[in-house]
Amino acid sequence: MAKGPRKPRFGADRTYPRHNERNTGGEKKRLLDIRRRKDFQYELDTLLDNFKVVENKSTIAATIQNKLSTRSYDDASEYADRLGEANGQPGEMATEIKRLMGRYSRWR
């Protein structure tokens, strides 16, 4: 049995910070909507087939999806621009991929 008044374990006079008080949440980024990931994969594959990207199609689709889901929309759009220039269709292909990414992304 304790002698004397006890110190409050949790309350206003605690001297230690809680584990999450320093977490401000960081910057919000535009990323892939994870719930709609399979739909995005299907439409991206269809889009790449329409532009007749035969060589490394699965690698290109995986790279776009990875950049959009982990980094940001901006990194994925830069990759789409470089991809369009490499395939000889700088304007059309990049704008279609960006439009598709815009439909399937959200701010997180």
Sequence spans of domains, the chain: 30-107
pLDDT digits (tens, 9 = 90+) for 15-59: 666 666 676 778 889 999 999 999 999 999 999 999 888 788 999
Most confident stretch, 6-10, 22-26, 104-108 = 104-108
3-state secondary structure of 39: helix
Q: Is residue 89 left, alpha or beta, with left meaning phi > 0 and alpha meaning psi from -120 to 50?
A: beta
Q: For residue 84, what pLDDT is reported?
A: 82
Give the separation between CA 8 and CA 30, rounded to whole angstroms: 43
Note the pLDDT tens digit of each residue in 80-94.
Answer: 999 888 877 778 889
pLDDT of residue 108: 87
Q: What is the pLDDT of residue 53?
A: 80
The three-state DSSP-derived secondary structure of 54-97 is CCCHHHHHHHHHHHHHHHCHHHHHHHHHHHHHHCCCCCHHHHHH
Rounded Cα distance between 108 and 38, Å, is 19
Alpha carbon distance 31, 101 (integer Å): 9
